[in-house]
Amino acid sequence: MGQTGGVLGSIEFLEFEEVVEINRRMIAAYGGFFTEGDDNLANPGSLKHILEMIQGSLIGHDPYPTVVEKAAILAWRIIEGHIFHDGNKRTGFESCRLMLDLNGYTMRIDRDVVDMAIQICEGQVSFSDFVQWLKERLVEEP
């Protein structure tokens, strides 16, 4: 897990290898396709880009300034971008949940998570609506 300081204080982030391991574990637990040897990534550069994006700013502006927005865009980009050969919805939400957990938030998990993952994958929900939905699922805030 990586960490960065700044206006928000210290934020914990997932590392590249940790997200790949989440994908491997999701497929091992729930089934699917995992290609050994290439980390199951359809495009390794896309995952690296997402992780770098949420840890930095763009020309002095952070487009995702809160922990919730950073965790949300991590899930969104994994699911929508089909970063892995298989298990994108499960990996996206588990990465989001874990990043929130590392930063003191608890996300309520139920059948609605599966429905939201499908809606993201099918382009039926906007990112801002997803962030609002996610905020409503937080059991406790730091």
> What pLDDT digit, counting tens, does each position of 37-50 carry?
778 999 889 999 99
Residues lower than pLDDT 70 in the chain:
1-9, 57-58, 140-142
Radius of gyration of the chain from its Cα atoms, rounded to whole angstroms: 14
CA atoms within 13 Å, Cβ hemisphere of 58: 9
CATH number of 2-140: 1.20.120.1870
**Cα dihedral: 12, 43, 112, 108 (round 10):** -10
Bridge partners, 3 (sequence order): 12
Domain boundaries in the chain?
2-140
pLDDT for position 57: 65
Residue 142 CA to residue 131 CA, distance in Å, equals 17
